[in-house]
C-alpha cells in the first residue's frame, strides 16, 4: 500500500492534491463472501507515514466513527510540495 501512495504522489504536480480514505484498524475487512470484496484495514499512523514518506504534506486528517459499521474511517487530504 505504501508503494501505491508513492506512485500516486509521483503523478501529482506541485500543489496537486491526494485524498485518501480507509477503514482504520489492522487486518482484513470481513464482507459477505458472495460480495466478492477483498479489503484491508490500515492503522492511521501507517497511512500518515506512507503519505509523508511520499514527500506529501498532510493538510487535513480526520477520523470518524461509523456507527452502522462499528468502526472508524480515516480521511487524509495531502498536497504535493
The model's confidence at residue 30, banded by pLDDT at 50, 70 and 90, is confident
Q: Is the pLDDT of residue 9 over 90?
A: yes
- Mean of pLDDT values over 2-9: 96
pLDDT digit string (tens) for 42-80? 999 999 999 999 999 999 999 999 988 888 999 999 999
Whole-number pLDDT of residue 29: 86
Give the contacts of 66 (CB within 8 A, at least 6 positions apart). 72, 73
| Residue ranges in the chain assigned as alpha helix (H) | 2-11, 44-53
Whole-number pLDDT of residue 37: 86
Give the contacts of 14 (CB within 8 A, at least 6 positions apart). 80, 81
Amino acid at each position: 500500500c505504501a508503494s501505491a501512495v508513492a506512485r500516486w504522489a509521483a503523478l501529482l504536480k506541485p500543489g496537486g492534491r491526494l485524498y485518501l480514505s480507509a477503514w482504520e484498524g489492522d487486518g482484513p475487512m470481513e464482507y459477505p463472501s458472495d460480495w466478492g470484496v477483498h479489503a484491508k484495514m490500515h492503522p492511521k499512523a501507517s497511512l500518515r507515514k506512507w503519505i509523508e514518506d511520499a514527500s506529501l504534506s498532510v493538510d487535513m486528517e480526520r477520523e470518524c466513527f461509523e456507527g452502522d459499521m462499528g468502526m472508524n474511517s480515516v480521511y487524509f487530504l495531502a498536497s504535493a510540495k
